[in-house]
Structure 1
Amino acid sequence: MRKYLFSENGFVERPEWAPNCWVNVECPDNNDFDFLTQQLRVPEAFLTDIADVDERPRTDTEGNWLLTILRIPMQNDKPDIPFVTVPIGIITNDDVIISVCYHRTEMMSDFVAHTQRKGIAVNNKLDLILRIIYSSAVWFLKYLKQINNVVTEAEKELERSIRNEDLLRLMKLQKSLVYFDTSIRGNEVMIGRLKNIFQDTDYLDMGLLDDVLIELKQAVNTVNIYSDILTGTMDAFASIISNNVNAIMKRMTSLSITLMIPTLIASFYGMNVDVHIEHMPYAFALIVVVSVLLSAGTFVLFRKIKWF
């Protein structure tokens, strides 16, 4: 699906493409490919690179075409990892600005709506790239708050009862934070490359560039904080689990030793030898009482040293 967006006071959708019009393509089909490659003459290699879900932020050129690949966040429908990052390619020429993403994300529609609400005019292709990076940083922070809420809920559940499901949920969130960290840092590196590419042009807006860098640094710091908190939480609950296992094993060992005493006495008196009390009328009761007393004494001793 593609949209033709023209910048006035915010992006306004147009029915047809015109020069200096932003073509936003999400989940492209064959019709979109034909339009991009045949009518706009976009290099097919660029579209192939963007399709790679593991593509890292970078720039590439072919003729007078410039490809800028960024990583943007999205909420994953699959249960394995709740939040992931996907590549978005921004392909620019003298009078052509195209963004291509093979996934439907909340960020792009929100970005267009934000420019309309605020009446933001995007003056050139670099301005658009920087604002998309800025928007990605905002959405990284938004998803990080959701991750923090999920971590808080999981901690409350683990305080009640330690379950494998809650620990696995925390592990999946840890993976999301790793993806976020690498993607944000990659986008931050792209800022320097774009600055070098456009430093001799009139496109570079230093005020906007500083705002984007500040937002990215805030996103990086937030990821690091949440990642440290989550790592500490995982380590703490791992220690709790280990302590619980040790406590259980200690109790089981103490119980085994306590029960071993009457078993040992019964074993001695079960031997086919003289025991010197076999003719006593209350020999069996005596042996039972002695076994119980010794076991009780052992139990008291273990309670005193807090093994029970």
Structure 2
Amino acid sequence: MLKIFTTKGNNTLVEIDEFQEKCWVHVVDPSVEDTKQLHNIGVPPDFITYSLDEDERPRMEKEDDGTILFLLRTPFFQGDEFDIPYITIVLGIIFKDNIIITISKRENELLNPFLQSKVRGFSTNKKNRFVLFILLKTAKKYLELLNQIDARVELVEDRLQKSLNNKEVLELLKFQKSLVYFETGLRTNEVMMEKLDRTRIFLEYEEDEDLLDDVITENKQAREMVMISSTILSSMMDAFASIISNNLNDVMKILTSVTIVLSLPTLVTGFFGMNVMIPFAEGANSVWLILMICAILIVAAFLVFLWRKWI
């Protein structure tokens, strides 16, 4: 899919049919025809390939003709049915003359606010500002999804306190894997941002310089929050593994106690059921005496278990 937009009037985004100066080309999983159009305006084939490779690391590359590629990893929720619900995907941003091009393998909801003209100050006429806005939105998206993970971990934690199986622990493991992806993505994005700061590409305007500082600060904050959540979750999983074991031990203690208590009447009735001469064998009320003995033994055993705190 390839769509072309430009900003008109009061910073309203309008879709157009042809490439023009200071436009934004939004590309998602491009077809052969889409790729051909990008080649026709001078986009290097490698830049397209890098942007579609989901294993690429964030970085900045510049061609001799001035074409610049920014690669960053953005957070992405792919669904609870996957082994890792939250991952990171690559978003490529290309500067070709006065044209801004964004390329990704999947539909990236990070760009939806721009497509819906909901970002204050956004304009396709300001390509540097556009990249900084995307970087800032990326860091905030990490924090947003991190809050979702923390909330879901708390729900699992409540269930886990009474759990006897590994289902909840395995669910926590999925979130821990997601946090590893987040931490790696934020760390590599930070390296790329620091390189941008050193190259002074975005220092043409004072507002852009301040915005870049905000982006770096927000990214560092997001990374620290992810690291804290990951450390807490790792410790929590170790603790809950012990809790599950303790819960299972409690169940086994109860079952063992019930087995012992029920074995006492069996012992008594077995004794009086022997085919030999035994006391009270001829008594008319012997059965009630035997039942009374059984009851006394059951109550006595139960009281002993309570006193020893075995149940």
Match of 1:300 in 2: 303
Match of 1:4 in 2: 4
Q: Distance in 1 between matches of 2:248 and 2:80?
A: 33
- SS of match in other structure, 2:310: coil
2:265 and 2:294 in contact (8 A); partners too: yes
Answering whether residue 249 of structure 2 is matched by residue 246 of structure 1, we say yes
User: Larger deviation: 199-208 or 212-221?
Assistant: 199-208
Answering whether residue 36 of structure 2 is matched by residue 34 of structure 1, we say yes
Answering whether residue 121 of structure 2 is matched by residue 119 of structure 1, we say yes
User: Larger deviation: 89-98 or 278-287?
Assistant: 278-287
Structure-1-length-normalised TM-score: 0.78
1:188 and 1:216 in contact (8 A); partners too: yes
Which structure 2 residue ranges, 5 or more long, are not aligned?
none
> Against the structure 1 CA distance between its residues 147 and 106, is the aligned structure 2 distance closer, same or farther, given a 3 Å change threshold?
same
> Against the structure 1 CA distance between its residues 271 and 44, is the aligned structure 2 distance closer, same or farther, given a 3 Å change threshold?
farther
Q: Distance in 1 between matches of 2:212 and 2:46?
A: 29
Alignment of 1:94-243 (within 5 A): 94-114=97-117, 118-121=120-123, 125-155=127-157, 168-198=170-200, 202=204, 205-231=208-234, 234-235=237-238, 237-243=240-246
Match of 2:24 in 1: 22
User: Larger deviation: 168-177 or 125-134?
Assistant: 168-177
Task: Kindly state the Cα deviation for residue 12 of structure 1 after the two structures are TM-superposed.
Answer: 3.5
1:10 and 1:112 in contact (8 A); partners too: no
Task: Kindly state the Cα deviation for residue 236 of structure 1 after the two structures are TM-superposed.
Answer: 5.1
- SS of match in other structure, 2:133: helix
For 2:214, give the aligned amino acid.
D
- SS of match in other structure, 1:118: coil
- SS of match in other structure, 2:60: strand
Cα RMSD for the two superposed structures: 3.8
- SS of match in other structure, 2:300: helix
For 2:152, give the aligned amino acid.
V
- Provide the aligned length of Structure 1 versus Structure 2: 304
Structure-2-length-normalised TM-score: 0.78
Provide the identity percentage.
Answer: 39
User: Larger deviation: 42-51 or 120-129?
Assistant: 120-129
For 1:144, give the aligned amino acid.
L
Match of 1:51 in 2: 52
> Against the structure 1 CA distance between its residues 134 and 10, is the aligned structure 2 distance closer, same or farther, given a 3 Å change threshold?
farther
Match of 1:68 in 2: 70
Q: Distance in 2 between matches of 1:298 and 1:40?
A: 88
> Against the structure 1 CA distance between its residues 61 and 287, is the aligned structure 2 distance closer, same or farther, given a 3 Å change threshold?
same
2:71 and 2:91 in contact (8 A); partners too: yes
1:126 and 1:203 in contact (8 A); partners too: no
- Superposed CA deviations along residues 137-187 of structure 1, whole A, max 9, x for unmatched, are 122222233334434444555578778765554443333333222212221
> Against the structure 1 CA distance between its residues 104 and 162, is the aligned structure 2 distance closer, same or farther, given a 3 Å change threshold?
farther
Of the three residues 60, 83, 86, the one matched with 2:89 is: 86
> Against the structure 1 CA distance between its residues 262 and 196, is the aligned structure 2 distance closer, same or farther, given a 3 Å change threshold?
same
Q: Distance in 2 between matches of 1:248 and 1:281?
A: 43
For 1:106, give the aligned amino acid.
E
For 1:43, give the aligned amino acid.
P
2:88 and 2:181 in contact (8 A); partners too: yes
For 1:192, give the aligned amino acid.
E
Q: Distance in 2 between matches of 1:162 and 1:280?
A: 48
Q: Distance in 2 between matches of 1:111 and 1:49?
A: 23
2:22 and 2:125 in contact (8 A); partners too: no
> Against the structure 1 CA distance between its residues 94 and 201, is the aligned structure 2 distance closer, same or farther, given a 3 Å change threshold?
farther
